[in-house]
Amino acid sequence: MNFWLIPFALLLSCSEKSYMNNIVIPEPPAPKEYEFSATPSWADEFDYEGLPDAAKWSYDIGGSGWGNNELQYYTEARPENVRVADGLLTITARKETYEGSEYTSTRLVSKGKGDFLYGRFEVRAKAAKGRGTWPAAWMLPSDWAYGDWPASGEIDILEHVGYDQDVVHISVHTEDYNHSIGTQKTAFKKIENATTEFHTFRVDWTPQYIRGFVDGVQLFNFPNEGKGYKVWPFDKKFHWLLNLAVGGDWGGQQGIDDEVFPAQYQVDYVRVYDLLNP
């Protein structure tokens, strides 16, 4: 055995270890921080009287259950279910037989009149009160480029279910992350007077993240993992929806209190601010 080789081998081993210990592994880049315009590029301040502005809003119509076994019939431009007055949009759900359903309400959509890719989306609203109500301000894809729900995504800016008083939710749904398989990305918070006072709900949607805020305080963060549309379909245009559902798989989990009807969901404004540095 060549014993004179042992010190050399030890020296080589120590040199390799020393070299390896000096390797600096760089930290991943910090998420880019984005800026938004100071004034809205699209908004409805509801500072007029009558039906919602037809230049900004259309209606989803019908009583199909809407994928959640909801019980209302969504009517079109019916003043009993939707009106603008005193600076507010009011959506009213009523207990009445209409087109085969036992309740009526309204679902406004901005599709084709307000479609957006990235930005700051803000709504100031007062949720409907009562077991069985399910008001929401949310966004769906305008073109469904990646396929039917949930493949093309969903962004929920505000949801409130009446049996869980004052608890508000912000969520996103994708093919890999959605409530039907129990993987949805969501956050919730109990706030004071969600149904008796107005609160501000906001989502900042950028190429790298979607963040949600309640009254200016961040509640939700969903980063772009860079794994394709099944995780991040949020590179296509989306549009607003404002609606008050009755019952359904979530809203009706603890039944419906018919004494709360007519129930009202009120919106002070809806605003969109452009992303400045995409």
In the chain, what is the greatest distance between 2 CA atoms, to the nearest angstrom?
100
**For the chain, how many residues are written?**
278
Helices (H), ranges, 80-217: none
Element (H, E) at 239: strand 238-246
Residue 89: CB partners within 8 Å, gap ≥ 6? 44, 46, 52, 82, 83, 242, 266, 267
Q: Which residue has the tokens 């469904």?
A: 144
Distance of alpha carbon 63 from the chain centroid: 23
Residue that has been written with the tokens 């009445």 in this structure: 96
Q: How many angstroms separate the CA atoms of 128 and 149, rounded?
A: 26
The residues that are catalytic are 154, 159
CA 47, distance to chain mean position in Å, is 25
